[in-house]
Amino acid sequence: MSDDDGVAVLTILYGTETGNAEDVAYRIADVAQRHHVPTRIYNLADYDRTELICESHVIFVVSTTGQGEFPVSVRPLWRFLLRQGLPPDILSDLTFTTFGLGDSTYARYCWASHMLHKRLLDLGASEWFENGEADDQHELGIDGGVLPWLDTFVRHLRADLCEPSCKPISPDVLMPPRVHVHVSSDMAKPSIPFIDGAHMATVVRNERVTHQEHFQDVRCIDLALNRATASSYRAGDVVCLVPENKPEDVEALLQRLGWTSVADKMLCLTKTDPHRPWPPAIWHDMQQGSLTLRRLLTVHLDPFSVPRRSFFDLIRHFSPSDHREHEKLVEFLQPGEGTDDMYEYAQRVRRSMAEVLAEFKSVKIPPSYAMELFPLMRARQYSLASDPTTYPDTLQLLVAVVKYKTRIQKPREGIASSWLARLEHGTRIPVRIQSGTLLPPAQSSTPIIAIGPGTGMAPLRSLLRERLSKSDAVVGETLVFTGCRYRAKDCLYAAEWEAWAATPHAHLTWIVAASRDQPHKIYVQDRLREWGARVWDILGPRRGIAYLCGTSGKMPQQVRQAAVDVFCEHGHMSTEQAERYLAKLEAERRWQEECW
């Protein structure tokens, strides 16, 4: 697309469920801005996809969710591009590239961006330059993929969209904030819970379900709904909620930044990008006159997460150039040894942005840059552990409280899990309910294998309780593989599985893999091999369904390998045939994963 003067405009379209793609999109825009290239940025949820035929240069920044799926905001565009009857050259005027975000521990790493890239080529679009990827597992996080790709982007930007005489704005020049924060002289009004698109839920239970001597605090949290809300809740659904930071941590940060005297004054925000919509919760607080610096840091921003390189790039501008701390911040931004030092200082030990600011005392930041300084607090998703048949008015969550140590003296804590753990009985919080990725079988007689190490049992319990609670249905065989460390300390929902296993009509067999209850460790993948004949019988001749839920990382890969081994031994396949069979099960939705 061109502006009124005929100058080519770069359009950046992003789709995400975590916020990472939005962050990358605006970092790309910052680079283009420094090279004087007009730029438009859209969340794909807000973009008119019919305008694609009018665009000239577009960068798509897309994350991958679930088992190689598009984020919700990208799915309308994808369906549009898949429509039958589209001319094969409909996008012949479009020059594009894609940047994918994903996690390489998943089998379909950056699958969504790969599919989008291929489809755009099929519709006649031209590739601008090679696509990029960012891996959450990289030691530098997504920066490990973003930074080298941005160098490539600059070369093509200058060659294709910049005027020959264009002189870029130096990185040493501080750019104005994209969202300017202005502190009013008026005191803010009390905040009102934000409900748009969400439901208010009341905490009616928050108790530890692992043994007190066990190192891991896992909590069952019950959230009561009113009956009108409960009607939209289904087994396998996911709850989205936005956590809050600890008040005492926010107070300490306000003191460090020197903002305490204006912390409770009403804020007015103005933005330079007309295409960037306000986050609904921030817009609500602004309209109500309840937005303050304290509320920004408590509810809307995430200053207690690990910083990226862009954070150090910003705060160096607010440290005196002759100060040794400024010199150190500049060193962190240098390729090679400097980047390694930054990684050791921040990412490896999980040091937060607030802790960085506490140590770099020369950094003095005005409130006007608050929205540039810290990322937005992103919503967290938790798979429901309850089913609407048994718990029609209650959402049950199974939450492992994240707490661990690094070289830093203060233990690291998960922002969302620690917030949930401290919610008191009677607290009301807004929650959103959205569809999960697990699909129940069309027939209740279909046999099922459920594999759930740790809190992976939560979504499996939701699906299986709904299935087993239907007394008038003929229920097929169910194999449940539960993973834990000690059967007596952290075997989640053990009493329920024992009861179902003793119920004749349930046809349920419960198999426990307690890894530390014997000298040699036993995991769910080991039990899967031990029960290989039954597993093959269900997934082979009887065309059953397998569900795998739990943390990402090595576990899903190890369970998948165990399935391949079972197919080889009991299905009499070669390794190649077994791997193809597993891929076929996935394509038929007879092997489903929900890992996080």
Known binding-site residues equal 16-21, 63-66, 101-110, 136, 350, 380-383, 455, 515-516, 521-525, 596
CA atoms within 13 A of residue 503's CA, in its CB half-sphere = 16
The span from the CA of 66 to the CA of 62, in Å, is 13
Q: Which amino acid is at 553?
A: G
Residue 134 CA: distances (Å) to CA of 24, 32, 171, 386: 10, 20, 23, 35
Q: Which amino acid is at 177?
A: P
Instruction: Quote the distance between the C-alpha of residue 189 and its chain's center.
Output: 32
Helix or strand (DSSP H, E) at 126: strand 126-127
DSSP 396: E
Instruction: Quote the distance between the C-alpha of residue 55 and its chain's center.
Output: 29
Candidates 286, 277, 283; CA nearest to 196 is 283
What's the helix, strand, coil split of the chain in %, to 5? 40, 20, 40
The span from the CA of 111 to the CA of 62, in Å, is 10
Q: Are strands 126-127 and 132-135 parallel, antiparallel or unpaired?
A: unpaired
Cβ neighbourhood burial of 502 (10 Å; 0-12, 13-18, 19+): exposed
In the annotated binding site for FMN, the residues are: 16-21, 63-66, 101-110, 136
The span from the CA of 172 to the CA of 317, in Å, is 8
Q: Is the Cβ–Cβ distance between 63 and 112 less than 8 Å?
A: yes
Candidates 468, 487, 573, 580; CA nearest to 527 is 487
Residue 260 in tokens? 């305490």
Contacts of 440 (CB under 8 A, 6+ apart): 235, 236, 463, 466, 467
In the annotated binding site for NADP(+), the residues are: 455, 515-516, 521-525
Indicate the length of the chain as a whole number. Answer: 596
Candidates 483, 463, 467; CA nearest to 475 is 467
DSSP β-bridge partners for residue 433: 239
In the annotated binding site for FAD, the residues are: 350, 380-383, 596
